[in-house]
Each structure stands twice: as C-alpha cells, then as structure tokens.
Structure 1
Amino acid sequence: MIHLVKLCVGISNVEELESYRNERSHWWGADYGEDVHVHRTRMMPKRFSEIEGVSSIYWVISGLISCRQPILRLAPYTDVEGKSYCDIIMSRDLHRTLPYPKRPFQGWRYLNPKDAPPDLGVDGNEGSEELAADLVRLGLI
C-alpha cells in the first residue's frame, strides 16, 4: 500500500475543502454514479494497484498535511482534445490528521504509510487542531 499527498491549491482550511467538496463533487463532468469526490490530475500513478481501495490522498493545506480522503479507485479520462488524465475518485469522508509540515511541490507525491500523519482523535491524538498546528510550527511535534 502507498498513499498520495497533494497540495490543496486555493483552499485555506479543512472547512473550505469540505465546502468545495459539497459544491463540486462532480465538477469535472464525469459522473461515477455515486456520492463521491473527484479530483482530476494529469498523470496516472504508476503504482495504482497499491492505491485503489486501500489508500488515501493526504491534503496539504497552508503548508500542513491537515486531512485525508480515502481513495476508492482511479479512472483514466480523455478529454475532447485527446489529452489523457487520471480521475482520483475518493470517498466524501474527510479525516482530519495531526498537522504535519510539508513544503510546496508540483503534482502529487507518494507517501509511505509509516510517514503518514495519524488521524486526530485516534490513539490519543485528541484535542485542538489549531494547537497541534501551532506546536508543529514551533517544532515541538
């Protein structure tokens, strides 16, 4: 299993991502016949067999990995001009994670499960998300 990590461009917090997800779940014009959230990216991950149905996409918001969404499947998509894309079809569920700093990058990156931040509220990771983010910025966690 391998996860993906992606910058959430134009989104400033998890609540804004939730709102975006609610408004544009099928924004790309691809209807997968279920209540899902779709993100279209240019390249199909080469390790797709390690991702579909078992991994998550970890969203980097304002320089911190802040939440994740389970990936249900990956689907190829070709537009009217013949360009190939990959639709990342995700559950609508957003799981907040312990904030983890991540520098800017382009596209998406693989994330090993051992390097993925834990979900908040699991295994004693309870409390204020803002406090956790402040502690990360101070280098204390």
Structure 2
Amino acid sequence: MTIHIRKLAAGVEDIEELESIQARKLRDYAMVFTDTRNTPKRKEELLDGGSLYWVIKGQFRVRQEITGFEERMDDEGRKYCLIFLKPGLIRTQLKAQKPFQGWRYFEDKDIPRDIDERSPEGDQLPEDMQSELRELGLL
C-alpha cells in the first residue's frame, strides 16, 4: 500500500521560493532532498509511489515523488535522515492544513489531487481565491 508524507516548508513564502531552494540543491549537490530528524519507519510503502506533499503558508500546494532515504550523523553525533526527491514540483489542489511539527504520514484517501494548467483551477484564479472558493464548496 502506497503512503505519502506531508511536511511544512518552514520559512518558505511561495512555490517559487521552494523551486529556487531546490534548484540550488540540484546545482550544488546534484540531487534534491530535504532532511528530518526522524527516519520514516514505513520506507517501503513510501518508495512504492509515495510523494512528499509540501505545505506552504497553511496550504498544500505542491508534491514531489520520494526516491530514497539515507540516514546520517551530524557533527554533534545526532542522527538525521535525508529524504531524496524527484526534481520538479507538481502543483496540487489547494487544501488547508493546520500547523504541525516535523512530518506526518498521509494516506491516498486524504491527498489533494494534482492540477495542471489545463484544469479550470490551474493558474486562472489567484491561490487565495481558489482556497476561499474551495472552503465554500464552490470549486
């Protein structure tokens, strides 16, 4: 069974900033990753088509396919985990998410669906308006 991860993009203002951060990682390290203190225990389910869903400013906005994990140790002897991601952000339907720390597992039944430029909610309406319309059940 495929599962996913939801993670806050702490300090990130918008999708363009996340793209810039990831482009820098790809240039400097030849890979895209995020790090976390706790290593996911359900790695096999995550690697079976799972994605990391980014929460930016209280809304799910984009996702990336998870491609691998690597446990490491910092200079002070604390363990952490790198989560490797497929380059490129896939926009998702906006969906509100209350704050949480770290990351959480996310099942298929709860994920926001992908959107593209051809969909009615693509880039035609501002994100805040899309969010408000969705909350009212109009989109």
Q: TM-score range by the shorter chain?
A: 0.7 to 0.9
**For residue 100 of structure 1, what is the aligned residue in structure 2?**
95
Alignment size in residue pairs: 135
Cα distance 1:125–1:73, how it changes in 2: closer, same or farther (>3 A)?
Answer: farther
- Which residue in 1 is equivalent to 2:86? 91
Query: Shift of residue 12 of structure 1?
Result: 1.2
CA distance in 1: counterparts of 2:13 and 2:21, whole angstroms: 11
Mind listing any 5+ residue stretches in structure 1 that lack a counterpart?
A: none
Deviation of residue 44 (structure 1)?
A: 0.5
Quickly say closer, same or farther: Cα 1:11–1:137, change in 2 above 3 A.
farther
Q: Which moved more, 1:14-23 or 1:99-108?
A: 14-23
Q: What value does the CA root-mean-square deviation take over the aligned residues? A: 2.3
Alignment of 1:115-126 (within 5 A): 115-121=110-116, 124=119, 126=121
When residues 45 and 59 of structure 1 are mapped into structure 2, their CA distance, relative to the original with a 3 A threshold, is same
User: Deviation at 1:91?
Assistant: 0.9
Partner of 1:11: 12
Query: Is the contact between residue 13 and residue 61 of structure 1 (CA under 8 Å) also seen in structure 2?
Result: yes
**Matches of 2:41 and 2:120, distance apart in 1:** 33
Q: Is the 8 A contact 1:38 1:89 kept in 2?
A: yes
Contact map agreement 2:121 2:130 (CA 8 A) in 1:
no
The sequence identity of aligned pairs, in percent, is: 39
- TM-score normalized by the length of structure 1: 0.84
Which residue matches 1:127?
Answer: 122
Between the aligned partners of 2:49 and 2:95, the Cα distance in structure 1 is 21
CA displacement 1:43-81 (0-9 Å, x = unmatched)? 001111111252110000010000001110111111232
Q: Which residue in 1 is equivalent to 2:74?
A: 79
Write the letter of the residue equivalent to 2:65: P
Name structure 2 gaps, 5 residues minimum. none
Q: TM-score, normalised by structure 2?
A: 0.85
Shift of 1:20: 1.1
- Residue type at the aligned position of 2:130: A
**Residue type matched to 1:21 in 2?**
Q
